Amino acid sequence: MKATQKLHDLGQSLWLDNITRGLLASGTLQRYIEELSITGLTSNPTIFDHAIKNSHDYDGAISQKLKEGKSGETLFFELAIEDLRQAADLFRPIHDRTDGVDGWVSLEVSPLLARDTAGTLAAAKALHARAGRPNFLIKIPGTSEGLPAIEEAIFAGVPVNVTLLFSGEQYVAAAEAYLRGIERRIAAGLNPDVGSVASLFVSRWDVAVAKKAPESLRNQLGIAIAWETYGRYRSLLDSPRWQRILNAGARSQRLLWASTGTKDSEASDILYVQALAKPFTVNTIPEVTLKALAAHEEFGEALPANADTVLAEFAKAGIDTDAVAAQLLKEGVASFAKSWNDLLDCIASKSKTLTAA
């Protein structure tokens, strides 16, 4: 049995953390769906930046949009929505077959809105309306300003992928924002079936403490944080509050593992995939990690979830995980904003080149 199929049978969804026009046109994404159990897809500005910068696949579309007077952010979102609509259509049979549990694609609001509640909500509603697909998640950051936008977007019926989560506490806050939105829909007599995932970033933890942690704890912090968060997730799913919304026709917001590519060249290429093989979750993995996983006929059993023990060892080593979580969120917001600006610079440069040609 392929390792990808084993994860699927365990109850974990594998989503691809990549999208390019070439991936669609070549039939590669369709092959991943058919052969490697890929059941969804996520995107981000860096992915689109690399796709546009490193190929000519978008040149014709950009030229046409420039003739129509479009540029910058407006031009980018048109390109992104075109790609993601095609991907959403490929995943639509999965979405229909699972009654909306799986088969989603994700598009991010501008990261420059991470601290702007009203702007984030307006952008989320507009992008969802433009997408015109039922299996289209809008990514909203789980910042303090993003939480009210998440609640309001869910209440408005906009499916949400909560991004930039780094800790169990931050996950619970995002889950509660989702719950409030659903509870308000139920109270208003609206359909409570609004899809959502909550994306916890994993490998960035190990990068952040690589020079501080003892060698015996190398590459263990991100996994321990994920295990601890998974415990909170399962407790929430079993809570009376969550059961009430399920009884009213809602569905569970799923916990998603993000940033699961191995960063340490000396570690296993499927380190985080193996450690986070847990049911009722999603793992969105980079294409290189998917290929590495596909090369493994078996990848062993998931490691034992001794999160408390591992976290206690990090505390003894003088690592304050609350401080690291705050640092990671701050750096994540800044990194996403930089990626966005790089993307817009790429589009401006490409537009200038194409206009001159």
Around Cβ 96, how many Cβ atoms within 10 Å?
A: 12
State how far the Cα of 293 lies from the Cα of 275, in Å rounded to an integer: 13
**What type of residue sits at position 297?**
E
Distances (CA, A) of 11 to 121, 199, 209, 295, 331: 32, 17, 31, 20, 32
Comparing C-alpha atoms, which of 228, 231, 226 is closest to residue 203? 226
Residue 139 is among the residues annotated as catalytic for this protein: yes
Q: At what angle do helices 28-36 and 72-97 cross, to 10 degrees?
A: 30
Task: Tell me the DSSP string of 109-169.
Answer: PPGGGTT-HHHHHHHHHHHHHHH--TTEEEEEE-STTHHHHHHHHHHTT--EEEEEE-SHH
State how far the Cα of 78 lies from the Cα of 62, in Å rounded to an integer: 10
Q: At what angle do helices 168-187 and 240-247 cross, to 10 degrees?
A: 40
**Residue 185 token pair:** 């829909």
What are the start-end ranges of the H helices in the chain?
Answer: 3-10, 21-25, 28-36, 45-53, 59-67, 72-97, 117-131, 146-155, 168-187, 203-208, 221-237, 240-247, 271-275, 287-294, 307-316, 321-356
Task: Considering the candidates 139, 211, 316, 338, report the single residue annotated as catalytic.
Answer: 139
State how far the Cα of 68 lies from the Cα of 357, in Å rounded to an integer: 17
**Residue 116 token pair:** 């702007």
Judge whether 109 and 125 are in contact, CB under 8 Å. Answer: no
Q: How far is Cα of residue 351 from the mean position of the Cα atoms in its chain?
A: 29
Residue listed under structure tokens 């407006």: 74
Instruction: Point out the residues that are catalytic.
Output: 139
